[in-house]
Amino acid sequence: MAFENFPSAESRPPVAPQPKRSDWRTFLTIALVIALLGTWGYIIWDKSKTKETLVQKDTQYAAVITEKDTLQSLLDEATMRYDLLKTTNAKKDSTITQKDRDIAEKRSRIQALLSKANATKAELAEAKRLIASLNNDITGYKEQIESLKGQNQQLAQEKQAVTEEKIKVEKNLDSAKTVIKAKEDLIDVGSTLHASNFNITGVQEKKSGKEKETTTAKKVDKLRITFDLDENRIASSGAKELYVSITAPDGSPVAVEALGSGKFTTREGEDKFFTHKVEINYTQGQKQTVSFDWKQNANFATGSYKIEVFHNGFKIGEGTKTFKKGGLFG
């Protein structure tokens, strides 16, 4: 009889008990709950970080806005100082004019930086640096203005001193001119010549060429006027002009423009006709005789002719000559 070797019941390994279906579901639920809690925790943590980031950004934005406002205030203050300085009365020179251009350019650059909606830190830092430089420029500008005002004040004082000295010199000059004028007038009056010894002759011209004195009006062809210029030690030697005025018997001036007659002004400011102008070469301190002929186109009238001689606007002498009617019937 054959025997098979089968393991005995005692030698078989124990069989693990199978978990119940309800325990597996419990584990799954717990795992899902843990995962859900983790998700919620992550979401809460993420929102917290986002909020923190937003708060940081809001804080940074507020800081940027505050810094821009501060920088704008500093720029406005510097601009006000500069505008006040520009109203000064100090005269500007080329250096000040160049400063004006530099400051204007710097102000424009700063304002452009501060006007940016999203200005960066670097741009704000540049604006801050430029404002500091602008304030230094304005301080230097003020010093130059004060220096120019001091120079202007000094120049004004020097000008005042020069003006006062000029007035003083002008007063002295006016006084000197007055004295000189008085002396010149005295010399001028003193140098005026004097005429005397008048001799007025009516001359008849014969066909033969001979001349004959006559007192008959209708026979007179020309007047020969002679007078002496007395000695004068003040009058300088040289050319002198004498104006001779002849007045006809009817009181009218004898003046023929074609024969050289004209007008002159007396020392009293009166315009007077002259009949003839005599030019002489006078020698200082010497007596001198003057003689000339006057021949007119018309006949001489009956009556007295008055001859006046003027020098320097003064009448220096006069003489008269009377002509009568001629023959039985004049």
Q: pTM of the predicted model, to two decimals? A: 0.49
Residue-range domain boundaries for the chain: 23-190, 195-323
Nearest alpha-carbon partner for 198 in 315, 37, 23, 73: 315
Instruction: Give 45 or 247, the one with higher predicted confidence.
Output: 247
Q: Residue 265: what are its φ and ψ, rounded to 5°?
A: -110, 130
Could you read off the pLDDT of 91-148 as tens digits, one per residue? Answer: 556 666 777 777 888 788 888 877 877 778 888 888 788 888 878 877 877 777 777 7
Alpha-carbon Rg for the chain in angstroms: 64
User: Distance (Å, rounded) from C-alpha 267 to C-alpha 185?
Assistant: 12
How many other β-carbons are positioned within 10 Å of the β-carbon of residue 236? 11
195-323 has which CATH code?
A: 2.60.40.10
User: Taking all residues of the chain, what is their mean pLDDT, rounded to a whole number?
Assistant: 81
User: Distance (Å, rounded) from C-alpha 237 to C-alpha 229?
Assistant: 13
**Which phi-psi region, left, alpha or beta, contains residue 302 (left: φ > 0; alpha: ψ -120 to 50)?**
beta
- The token pair that represents 283 in the structure block: 């020698």
- Tokens 């639920």 locate to 29
Q: Is the model's pLDDT at 17 over the cut of 60?
A: no
- The token pair that represents 23 in the structure block: 């325990």
- Tokens 């943590």 locate to 45
Give the mean pLDDT of 160-172: 85
Instruction: Give 87 or 288, the one with higher predicted confidence.
Output: 288
- Could you tell me the pLDDT band of residue 89, with boundaries at 50, 70 and 90? very low
User: Distance (Å, rounded) from C-alpha 232 to C-alpha 254?
Assistant: 30
Could you read off the pLDDT of 213-266 as tens digits, one per residue? Answer: 999 999 999 999 999 999 999 889 999 999 999 999 999 999 999 889 999 999
Residues paired with 311 in a beta bridge: 314
Torsion angle (degrees, nearest 10) of CA 267, 270, 276, 279: 20
